[in-house]
Chain A
Amino acid sequence: MQQRTRVHDQEVGIPRSAITVTRADRSWRQVRVSKKLRETGLALLYLAPVLVLFGLFSYFPFFRALYLSLNITNEIGVPVKFVGLQYYQRILNLNGVDDEYLRSLLTSFEFALMVVLLQIICGLGLAWLALAKVRGIGIFRTIFTSSIAISLASASVIWALIFDPSTNATNALVNFLHLPQPGLLTNVQTALPSIAVMTVWSGLGFNFVISLAGMQAIPEELYESASLDGAGRWALFRHITLPLLTPILLFLLVVNTIQSFQTFTQFNVLMNGPGPAGATNVFIYAIYQVFWFDHRYGFAASMSIVLFVILLVLGTMQIVFLGRRVHYR
């Protein structure tokens, strides 16, 4: 009894000596309830804008997408015929008719694999470089970060010219690879890797910043004592930096994977179509075509739900990984 009263007193912020203990419990509970009642009103007022906005632009459209995905829709998005899970069967090719959408998913995975690996390796390398204690390192750090501020649309327009045969920037590479078509983007084998390279460049700033922050959080003494024991730079990296950076690397792995699954801009600007023999028809772009050009809103909605499930799995992995890090520290 006494203890509970003390807890209450602290919460309301009135010195314990000011009240009598026996009557306090009941009266303070009343005060608490009325306080909570008052604050509920205020809280709802404060939360009203976000609740309305989330309702209108997140939850309502989410459930509407689920509903649309089970229907054939007309050209203004009104459901006209219920088809159940047929669209999902089509996407996952459960009927064995055509694997267009399954292949598109596979392209997305392929793209993610290339981008994520390269991004993490390059980001780590740059961060390791930027730890050097030399004069003017701040300028280099800003340069390494700069791609964060360059929008994907601008980057795509610039890279479109880099890949354009008329500017001669990549022709040496095209000749070296003995490609049948001029330009890296018009060949089946090089189109997707080229966009991956452009995407890596675009995301490098982010990966660099995160890796550098992680490396800077590692206590200096660890390196010093290992150096005294005669460890070289590579050994320091391999046995101190990498293990201590594991949580950051897992974070980057998941975030980069989610992001590369959502990549749209560069496919739209650089390819403006599914690419040679559908080589760059990633899932996001396939959804865009079904939605924007074919106006098949129901089918596009079912594809977007498949994407949601994939991203949900990846997002859950992120929480598990991050949760584990917090646990270990």
Chain B
Amino acid sequence: MSTSSIRQLQTTVTYIILIAAALILLFPLLFALSIALQGETITPQILPNLRNLDWGVFANVLQQQPDLVRWIINSFVVSSLVTIGVMITSSLAAYAFAYLEFWGKQILFVLVLGTLMIPFETTLIPNYLFVSQLGWHDSYQGLVVPFLASGFGIFLLRQYFLTIPRELHEAAKMDGCGHTRYLWRFMLPLSRPALATLGLYTFLATWNQFYWPLLVTDSTQWRTTQIGIAIFHTSEVQVLNIQMAATLIILIPTLIPLIFGQRQLVRGLTAGILKD
């Protein structure tokens, strides 16, 4: 065999393995799609009847389950508010740690990093009691406010701010630019990659939250998508196609940012373990 045909064989084998791996990984999603397209049945098949696919199920589910739309709106509102809030509070705090000199800086920074060591589950019970006391069940503030500060966000942005040359600040100061304006006009635009990473990461994490919204939402209309879909699963055991269609619909808002923002996301995930 010639070298070129050996190479061709190698490429073919590589493709076969890649496609096999992709199919195995995609199996749950394909399975969900297959169930969704089969129409209402109590004995679903692994593969649907290709001549009789029920694509209307996606429109039907939105019509039949008005709650689903409300859940998606809830998740969007909560995730957006948390994302914007975290970006604002983290930028301000990160700027203070990166550029200002003040008493207690070290201690406060340790306190901020310390929050990363306190697991969500340990503060869960007191937080639940506190939020109940405030009467924040079934409200946006109950879902948003506890997550508005992020130790990870502050750390990430501080590290990024430190890479921006100090001379820029000196120059801006010469021109009479104060700290607040400098942060707003120079630092934030220059830190767009880091902010995008933080924003994407926060949005996905909030969108996917399960435990906390499960505790602080009681009525159907205040559920977020994740809780809604899980409760939908236990309450509508029979209509598998509707269940899977609803599940696939709520995946779209996170799959799209992943496909377009993969680089930012990867940068966020590898922050701190790899140098750029």
Q: How far is the CA of A148 from the CA of B14 in the complex (A)?
A: 24
Interface residues in B235-276 (C-beta closer than 8 Å to A) = 240, 243-244, 247, 250-251, 254-255, 257-259, 262, 265-266, 269-270, 272-274
Q: How far is the CA of A161 from the CA of B248 in the complex (A)?
A: 14
The stretch of B27-35, B50-58, B61-69, B191-199 that contacts the partner chain: B27-35
Most B CB contacts (10 A, CB to CB) among A51, A53, A64, A247 go to A53
- Complex Cα–Cα for A155 and B120 (A): 22
Across-interface contacts of B129 in A (CB, < 8 A): 76-77, 297
In the bound complex, how far is the Cα of B120 from the Cα of A284, in angstroms? 11
Interface of B: prevailing SS: helix
**Which of A43, A142, A214 counts the most B-chain CB atoms under 10 A from its CB?**
A43
Do the beta carbons of A151 and B226 come within 8 Å of each other? yes
Per-position binary interface string of chain A over residues 179-204, scored 1 when its CB falls under 8 Å from any chain B CB and 0 otherwise: 00000000000000000000001001
The answer, among A53, A64, A152, A264, for a CB contact under 8 Å with B89, is A53
Query: Is the pair B31, A161 in contact by a Cβ cutoff of 8 Å?
Result: yes
Which residue in chain B gives the minimum CB-CB distance to A13? B170
| Residues in A neighbouring B244, C-beta threshold 8 A | 158, 161
How many chain A residues touch B (Cβ–Cβ < 8 Å)? Answer: 92
Q: Residue B184 at the A interface, CB < 8 A? A: no
Could you say which of B29, B112, B122, B207 contacts A65, with CB atoms under 8 Å apart?
B122
A129 to B18 alpha-carbon distance, docked (Å): 7
Would you list which residues of chain B between 89 and 120 have a CB under 8 Å from chain A? 89-90, 92-93, 95-96, 100-105, 108, 111-112, 115-120
Q: Which of A54-62, A93-101, A219-227 participates in binding chain B?
A: A54-62
**Are A154 and B112 in contact, CB atoms less than 8 angstroms apart?**
no
Q: Do B258 and A49 touch (CB < 8 A)? A: no
- Cβ of A44 within 8 Å of any chain B Cβ, yes or no, is yes
Kindly provide the distance from the CB of A92 to the nearest chain B CB, expressed in whole angstroms: 17
Contact B25 A307 (CB under 8 A): no
Q: Identify the interface centre among B26, B108, B210, B240: most chain A CB within 10 Å of its CB.
A: B210
Asked if A213 contacts B210 (CB within 8 A), the reply is no
Q: Is A291 in contact with chain B by the CB < 8 A criterion?
A: yes
Report the minimal beta-carbon distance from B29 to chain A, rounded to whole angstroms. 7
A62 with B112: CB separation less than 8 A: no
A252-266 at interface with B (beta carbon < 8 Å): 262, 264-265
CB of A265, distance to nearest CB on chain B (Å):
4
Counting CB contacts under 8 A, is B127 at the interface? yes
CB closest residue in chain A, given B253 = A149
B59 to chain A, nearest CB (A): 20
Q: Residue of A at shortest CB range from B270?
A: A213
Closest to B33 in A: A158
Is B103 touching A153 in the complex (CB atoms < 8 A)?
no
Contacts of B265 in A (CB 8 A): 148, 209
A61 touches B130 (CB 8 A): yes
List the A side residues contacting B258 at CB < 8 Å.
142, 145-146, 148-149
Distance between Cα atoms of A169 and B44 in the complex (Å): 10
Shortest B84–chain A CB gap in Å is: 13
Q: Select from chain B the residue with minimum beta-carbon distance to A168.
A: B46
Taking the nearest CB of chain B, how far is it from the CB of A295, in angstroms?
A: 10
A265, closest chain B residue (CB) = B210
Contact A149 to B257, CB < 8 A, known contacts A36-B101, A129-B17, A206-B269 = yes
Query: Are A39 and B101 CB-contacts (below 8 A) given A50-B93, A68-B125, A149-B258?
Result: yes
Overall SS of chain A's interface: helix
Given contacts A65-B126, A126-B21, A150-B254, contact A157 B120 (CB under 8 A): no
Out of B26, B102, B118, name the residue touching A44 (CB < 8 Å): B102
A244 to B46, CA, bound (A): 43
- Interface of chain A residues 128 through 168 with chain B (CB within 8 A): 129-130, 132, 134, 137, 140, 142-162, 166-168
- Given known contacts A36-B102, A149-B257, A157-B229, A268 and B122 CB-to-CB distance under 8 angstroms: no
| Residue with the greatest number of chain A CB neighbours at <10 A, chosen from B14, B43, B149 | B149
- Cross-interface CB contact of B123 among A35, A43, A58, cutoff 8 Å: A58
What's the Cα separation between A132 and B108 when bound, in Å?
47
**A47 CB-CB contact with B under 8 Å:** yes
A322 near B: Cβ within 8 Å?
Answer: yes
B6 proximal to A (CB < 8 A): no
Across the interface, B122 reaches (CB within 8 A) one of A154, A159, A307, namely A307
The answer to whether B112 touches A54 (Cβ under 8 A) is yes
The answer, yes or no, to whether A46 is at the interface (CB within 8 Å) is yes
A308, B230: Cβ atoms closer than 8 Å: no
Q: How far is the CA of A142 from the CA of B26 in the complex (A)?
A: 11
Q: Is the CB of B230 within 8 A of A162?
A: no
Q: A46-B93, A54-B111, A158-B29 are in contact. Are A291 and B17 (CB under 8 A)?
A: no
Complex CA–CA separation, A154 to B211 (angstroms): 14
Give chain B's interface residues, CB within 8 Å of chain A: 11, 14-15, 17-18, 21-22, 25-26, 28-29, 31-32, 35, 42-46, 88-90, 92-93, 95-96, 100-105, 108, 111-112, 115-130, 145-146, 148-149, 151, 154, 170, 173-174, 179, 204, 207-208, 210-211, 214-215, 225-227, 229-230, 232-234, 240, 243-244, 247, 250-251, 254-255, 257-259, 262, 265-266, 269-270, 272-274
Q: Which 6 A-B pairs have the closest CB atoms?
A: A61-B126, A53-B149, A149-B258, A40-B102, A151-B208, A61-B123
Query: Can you name 11 A-B residue pairings with CB atoms under 8 Å?
Result: A35-B101, A57-B145, A59-B115, A61-B122, A126-B21, A130-B18, A151-B251, A159-B28, A167-B35, A210-B269, A262-B119
